[in-house]
């Protein structure tokens, strides 16, 4: 008898038919003699509908009340899923985030899990119940409902699998695994049978939308066996684990991320500590900075360019403009028509030719490279957004097939 | 500085505009220097929509999961209302039933409040927050979300007013007070300025839908000053209190309840203990029985007729049929095309002519009386449902105006 954690996203439970389908997957797992703990997101468009309801009333509501509102989305889906399982004749109970013992810090809308008190969960498992847990949510030490922000339900599932020492944590989505590139754009993309945590982490961070990087980080930290699998077709998915069997593939995948903007701080004095000042400002406002390029400008000045997520662009620019004189900068320039294209693979650590091959493929397709960033297992380049589809295809085909 | 509890029903917060209107009423009360605790129901049709969602998945879900689902309705409305008040610039916090300390028994779907732990509430009031509480819901000792069933939000408000020793508990609805009869049917109906707890209790029990009898019972028990007032017009409502100033009116109101069915247990043996057996069966299944009529039948048998709420009809008939031989009864007969018409007023205690006047008015309108039931301050008759509008008008006009 194994303990298996299964996570289902919003599209997997978007209507009654999908809820019944998911109930079928869960009960099949339970029937085989496993203990099953399920983490569910809010149904389909529920979260967007709730946000819209809030906007009508207050364009800028407090995060505390927004969390109160949004947490109802998962509470609806856990109860409906439990009802579907009841209807099939299996013992089941649904638990909200706080009932399942998810204690978080009090950063509303992007809370971090501090601990999971599993007393209630174990009590329900001991009664042979299938346990359905609301993902994405927890409770702060003030007794307030919090939400975990982006990728929250994946993180809930992995944290629960770690805490319960589950044999396996299955992330069900509407794709059937992790691909070498987005199969909607790159027809020749291949599904991976296995991928390492590190590779998955790069892919997740770089815009592959199957798994959120927070959840992969956590899975790596606690060595949780992850599997990305389809909720619509019953077939093997992609296993994400510490060590994967060697394959001949040099790279594991190509991703692109259009949710990127480039900011240039132009005309900075050419003296020490300037970069530090710029980036400490960004970190003060919790704005993640990615690719960084520092160039010498004219007249003893220099420019610092970096990329941020488009979600943070407005705030980043406002913060920089507010501090323009403190930074001794001339002006801020912005370009949000850019795209980050990355190749990822543990294989490239020992192969210097990867970068060359990537740049060559882009050059032959006439695509200009703005910025470059590398790590041990990935190479990212910033290109014009209009080139992104073509770039994805040519780079993918240069490495894979 | 007074502490005022205000309760708003589902229609008072059904859309963004209504939510803003309610926020205006609340902040006006707060601006006058009062502490304000607000109890809200789920928006408009939310509860029905959620029930429909559940039905699609499981026609007979467990009450525990149904409560989990339905409790989201109030959680949505408290957060939206709090956002509206935030937008107006006032300090506010929303609390779910469990956050507000509503501890109930574990009878899901019709839980009873056992105690209210007001620690969190007092903490928020001490911070000068307007506190918005989810009505209708609480938490059981197992940590499960419960709902209070019909009239639950009124009950939440009155219980809170009692526990906090509030100066006043205002029940906002879409009518502007308690009327001598339903003004949609009886054009000559008058609004009452005051009514006693006992009278209100009879009216509430007898089908006047402004206040639920559970909440009136509780208000009477803890002597909570109640006021029924309109959320749409700013004008005085109806005060409900222990002692009301004398008025010349003999009766306080006329109500009718179409949610009534008559059951006849036919052909029972004419021996002691038979009525006891019938009604102990009903109480075993928690079915409330109202007007009772016992008649001698033919051949040493007798019939027992009684009324139940139409909601309980199916179950009552099933229980009786299952026990037909134990009861030694011949058969069960049912009539759900009946209506209970009642006149209520403390004045009738000392006036024997009330019944006569009522029966006369019905006789003159050619309306037949099936059953009669009386208490110190009310007289109810069972009539055909098709006569109910006419009966309401003629009886109302016989006493009032």
Q: Predicted ipTM?
A: 0.79
Q: What is the pLDDT at residue A291? A: 85
Sign of CA dihedral A24, A30, A31, A34: positive
Out of A19, A72, A78, closest to residue B75 by CB: A72
Out of A62, A69, A99, closest to residue B76 by CB: A69
Distance from CA of A249 to the nearest CA of B (A): 45
Grade residue B208 by pLDDT with cuts at 50, 70 and 90.
Answer: low
Give residue-wise pLDDT tens across range B102-112: 999 999 999 99
Are A199 and A252 spatial neighbours (Cβ–Cβ below 8 Å)? yes
Determine the residue of chain B that is closest to A92 in CA distance.
B65
* Cross-strand partners of B227: B170, B239
Distance CA B160, CA A151 (A): 39
Strands B102-104 and B113-116: antiparallel
Contact A82 B68 (CB under 8 A): yes
> Which residues of chain B have a CB within 8 Å of the CB of A65?
79, 82-83, 86, 94
Distance from CA of A62 to the nearest CA of B (A): 7
Contact A57 B94 (CB under 8 A): no
Can you say how many angstroms the Cα of residue B302 is from the centroid of all Cα atoms in its chain?
A: 34
Distance CA B389, CA B395 (A): 10
What are the domain boundaries of chain B? Answer: 3-174
Give residue-wise pLDDT tens across range B116-152: 999 999 999 999 999 999 999 999 999 999 999 878 8
What CATH class does B3-174 carry?
A: alpha beta
DSSP character string of B204-271: HHTT--SS-HHHHHHHHHHT--EEEEESSS-S--EEEESS----S-S-SEEEEEEEEEEEEEEEEESS
Distance CA B265, CA B276 (A): 13
What Å distances lie between residue A280 and A178, A305, A309, B353, CA to CA? 35, 15, 17, 88
Distance CA A209, CA A10 (A): 14
Contact A57 B82 (CB under 8 A): no
Q: What is the pLDDT at residue A351? A: 67
A389: three-class secondary structure by DSSP: helix
Chain A interface, best mutation among B56, B57, B74, B119, by max A CB count within 10 A: B57
Q: What is the pLDDT at residue A72? A: 98
Contact B53 A80 (CB under 8 A): yes
Give residue-wise pLDDT tens across range B161-183: 999 999 999 999 888 888 888 88
Out of B68, B79, B143, closest to residue A75 by CB: B68
> Which residues of chain A have a CB within 8 Å of the CB of B79?
54, 65-66, 68-69
**Chain B interface includes A360 (CB < 8 A):** no
Average pLDDT over residues B37-57: 95
Q: How many residues does chain B have?
A: 401
Give residue-wise pLDDT tens across range A236-291: 899 998 876 555 566 888 988 899 999 999 988 887 778 888 888 888 888 888 88
Residue B284, token pair as written in the block = 């075993």
Residue stretches of chain A with pLDDT short of 50: none
Out of A57, A64, A83, closest to residue B65 by CB: A83
Residue B69, token pair as written in the block = 């689902």
DSSP character string of B287-345: --EEEEEEEE-STTEEEEEEEEEHHHHHHHHHHHHHTTTTTT--EEEEEEEEEEEEEE-
Contact A82 B99 (CB under 8 A): no
Half-sphere exposure of A302 (CA within 13 A, CB side): 14
Determine the residue of chain B that is closest to A15 in CA distance.
B53
Residue B390, token pair as written in the block = 């006419």
Distance CA B310, CA B303 (A): 21
């Amino acid at each position: 008898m194994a303990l298996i954690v299964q996570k289902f996203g919003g599209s997997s439970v978007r209507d009654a038919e999908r809820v019944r389908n998911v109930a079928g997957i869960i009960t099949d797992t339970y029937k085989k003699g496993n203990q099953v703990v399920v983490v569910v997101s809010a149904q389909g468009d529920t979260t967007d509908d709730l946000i819209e309801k809030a906007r009508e009333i207050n364009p800028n509501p407090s995060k505390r009340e927004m969390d109160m509102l949004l947490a109802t989305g998962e509470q609806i889906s856990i109860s409906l899923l439990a009802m579907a399982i009841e209807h099939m004749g299996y013992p089941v109970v649904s638990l909200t985030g706080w009932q399942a013992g998810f204690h978080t810090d009090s950063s509303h809308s992007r809370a971090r899990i501090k601990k999971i008190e599993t007393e209630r969960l174990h009590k329900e498992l001991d009664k042979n119940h299938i346990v359905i847990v609301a993902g994405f949510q927890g409770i702060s030490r003030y007794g307030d409902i919090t939400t975990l922000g982006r990728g929250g339900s994946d993180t809930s599932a992995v944290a629960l699998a770690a805490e319960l020492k589950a044999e396996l944590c299955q992330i069900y989505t509407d794709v059937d695994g992790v691909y070498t590139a987005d199969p909607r754009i790159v027809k020749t993309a291949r599904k991976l049978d296995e991928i390492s945590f590190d590779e998955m982490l790069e892919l997740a961070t770089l815009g592959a939308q199957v798994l959120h990087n927070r959840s992969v980080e956590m899975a790596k930290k606690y060595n949780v066996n992850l599997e990305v699998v389809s909720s619509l077709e019953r077939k093997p998915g992609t296993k994400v684990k510490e060590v994967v069997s060697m394959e001949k593939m040099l790279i594991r995948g190509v991703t692109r991320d259009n949710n990127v903007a480039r900011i240039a701080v132009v005309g900075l004095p050419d003296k020490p500590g300037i970069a530090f000042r710029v980036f400490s400002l960004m970190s003060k406002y919790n704005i993640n900075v990615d690719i960084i390029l520092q160039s010498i400008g004219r007249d003893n000045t220099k420019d610092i360019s970096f990329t941020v997520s488009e979600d943070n662009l407005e705030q980043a620019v406002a913060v920089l403009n507010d501090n323009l004189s403190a930074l001794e900068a001339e002006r801020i320039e912005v370009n949000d028509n850019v795209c980050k294209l990355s190749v990822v693979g543990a294989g490239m650590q020992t192969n210097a030719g990867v970068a060359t091959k990537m740049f060559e493929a882009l050059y032959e397709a006439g695509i200009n490279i703005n910025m470059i960033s590398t790590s041990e297992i990935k190479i990212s380049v910033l290109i014009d957004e209009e080139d992104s589809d073509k770039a994805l295809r040519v780079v993918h085909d240069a490495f894979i097939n």
